[in-house]
Structure 1
């Protein structure tokens, strides 16, 4: 898998959100790559994941279940798909919640996608998701190290 690290708009919102949340921006990039293929116009159907009805919006595929909460901050599905930085910051916020709850772990990364339920199916989904993100993250780091040389 090849990663083009030059895709970020100015300013690099992955860098800014990562800095503010103390999360590696490359981890945020790996999640965005996996979630949307780096397309902020992406709208994903979460019914396939067992959520009904549900949709993910933008680069970070912020879940529609959060729209009511986000509305108090003036964030709606249109802004999640039209404002890249808003989408990245919102996704980073929910990842930070997982880190705060589960510690700095791949389980927390898995919770970004599969939530916190202790049901075996959700635990499996967390592990599978974390494994895929870890692979993408490793590929980004490898590409970055080759670029620096």
Structure 2
């Protein structure tokens, strides 16, 4: 190939790169915790949804504890809410156990699967991971959808 042709192709590639707005560049997803796929597979939930949930809840920070305005508490990498503590205790899971990343991911996959049993494999089930309140449910599902779009996992 002639040097001028190579230079023109390189210039065209640079121009194309510069004129494509950053909003269409897919951000790489953050690294998944080692047991995320195992937890998703065990409870038969989509690992990408689970990954987006932990990104939304804590940006992958396993030791997160958040006190909410309603005085409930979200614990661990997937933000398991204290309203679930009594039910989890029946399964031998204590609140402090939720600070373990793998325990938290198995619980979050279990919680997501329970919502899917109620609402089917739907965005409503994804939103119900966060809230049963319709407006909060819809907003959360949109947020998870947007994260997946940003990572280039879905295109709609």
TM-score range, shorter chain: 0.7 to 0.9
Q: Deviations over 1:20-66 (max 9, x none)?
A: 1221111100000000111011112222xxxx320000111001111
What RMSD over aligned residues (CA atoms) do the two structures have, in Å?
1.9
How many residue pairs match? The answer is: 129
Q: Please give the secondary structure, in 2, of the residue aligned with 1:44.
A: strand
1:23 to 24, 28, 45: 45
1:136 CA drift (Å): 0.9
Map 1:23-102 onto structure 2 (within 5 A). 23-47=45-69, 52-81=70-99, 83-102=100-119
1:17 CA drift (Å): 1.1
1:146 equivalent in structure 2: none
Q: Does 1:112 align with 2:123?
A: no
1:127 to 129, 138, 149: 138
Structure 2 segments unaligned to the other structure (5+ residues)? 1-25
Q: Please give the secondary structure, in 2, of the residue aligned with 1:74.
A: coil
1:6 to 25, 31, 34: 31
1:7 CA drift (Å): 4.5
Structure 1 segments unaligned to the other structure (5+ residues)? 116-121, 144-149
